[in-house]
Amino acid sequence: MVVARLIERKRDGGTLSPEEWAELLDGYVAGRVPDYQMAALLMAIMWRGLRPEELAALTDGMLASGDRLRLDGIAAPKVDKHSTGGVGDKTSLLLAPLVASCGVPVPMMSGRGLGHTGGTLDKLEAIPGFRTDLSLRDAEAQVARIGCVMIGQTPEIAPADKRLYALRDVTGTVESIPLICASIMSKKLAEDLDALVLDVKTGSGAFLPELDRATELAETMIATGEARGCRTVALLTAMDRPLGHACGNALEVEEAIAGLRGEGPADLMEVTLALADEMLLAARAVPDVGAARELLHAAIASGRALERLRQLVDAQGGNPAIVDDPGALPQAPESAVYEAPAAGVVSRVEPRRIGQAIIELGGGRRTTDDVIDPAVGFAITAKPGEVVERGQPLATVHARDAAGVAVGLRALAEAITIGESAAPLPLVVRRLARETASC
């Protein structure tokens, strides 16, 4: 294999064979193919795309580059959810214990904050003591014991993706639909799932803001999952404003706990329950959406879902007291309320600006080794479409010091627009599944 010839072929719009993809990935993981050649190939893929058989070979090669969870000892169908990333999106924190408490095992593997979006692992690590770096064997044992686990990508899972992702991050090759699909699906397929529910975000705060690009990504991932025996369904959901009120790691954990008590903000609960419906349906645990909702409401009302969260936190070394006492979560020393500067209609709450401000406050990373301040962030109660009076409280900033408060208040002033009308996206924009996806 002469790598330069393969790069030229892809650059010119040609196709690489499955054997060539396998050899390339082997060579890359073993260090025989250098980063500069892989970077050139990634850029060629960015422009030329991949044919379906090339995408299949890339996904399978990335999956085969590592180990996987082995959950065949658990008879019930296993299901996970994956979000393409947003601001205030804490649905994973609710879904793992909620769906597990309905009898469906959830082996959940999540990521860290990326760009302006938050990451489930960072949120979980806001819980004092919580460990997300379990070994695969410990994760398998935990799923067998309590029905759910929430971990990060271990070094054994899809190591080719880990290296490729780091390379894409610094070579302007993240926003390629086939590369995103292969990256996400190689990790999800390593979880030994029977079913996967995708939450593909659309709107200004999403990585792929345009609906047609989000739809193409969802359809590509559905086709990839289904072809490998994993039932795959996608909801396209709104990320043109933050989800729920809390934005920031510990604040989001607190809001997720409120949600499991049945006291979460309406938009957060609508998206969470829509995803949970799909997880129960995809696992064949219920015959229809009506039955799914009944089961989910009962799990919340009875306290079973909250109890499952307590078990999960305890099992992974966290302080279970946070479930009853949110004061046990990290608290920011300073806070200030942002008031409406004028009367009118909230026309926008820009999620990208809020996500960037969390990084400025220290709640996200500028470089990979930055240490996160889990306590900082925002509680934004204003929603697009709401009629407000001048001086009405719209949000609270939580910061480490007075300078952080000033940064947060400035960001809120930029993110929240008061106008005459609003046209927010519906929270669940579209559902896609094998029968509806044109793939």
HSE, CB side, 13 Å, CA atoms: give it for residue 151.
27
Just list the catalytic residues: 82, 161, 168, 183, 187
- Helix%, strand%, coil% for the chain, nearest 5: 45, 15, 40
As measured in angstroms, the least distance from the Cβ of 199 to ligand URA is 12
Give DSSP secondary structure letters for 156-176: TB-HHHHHHHHHHHTTT-S--
Question: CA dist 438 to 71, 203, 207, 273, 291, Å?
Answer: 31, 22, 22, 26, 28
Answer for the pair 221, 181: CB distance below 8 angstroms, yes or no: yes
Q: Which residues bind ligand URA (CB under 6 A)?
A: 111, 165, 179-180, 183-184
Residue sitting closest to ligand URA (CB) = 183
Unique residue bearing structure tokens 């929603």 = 383
112 versus 241: smaller Cβ distance to ligand URA: 112
Element (H, E) at 398: strand 393-399
Nearer to ligand URA, 184 or 257 (CB): 184
Tokens of 59: 């996904």
Per the CB < 8 A criterion, the answer to whether 359 and 366 are in contact is yes
Task: Provide the minimum distance between the beta carbon of 264 and ligand URA in the complex, in angstroms, as a whole number.
Answer: 25
Tell the smallest beta-carbon distance from residue 78 to ligand URA (Å): 19
Q: What is the DSSP letter of 337?
A: E
Instruction: Tell me whether residue 94 or residue 198 sits nearer to ligand URA (CB atom).
Output: 198
CA distances to 1, 17, 66, 165 from 32, rounded to whole Å, are 11, 19, 17, 18
Cβ distance to ligand URA smaller for residue 58 or 394 = 58
Taking the least distance from each CB to ligand URA, the nearer of 188 and 245 is: 188
User: How many Å apart are CA 47 and CA 13, to the nearest integer?
Assistant: 9
- Our CB check for ligand URA shows the closer of 198 and 257 to be 198
Number of CB atoms found within 10 A of residue 421's CB: 9
What is the C-alpha separation between 437 and 439, in angstroms, rounded?
6
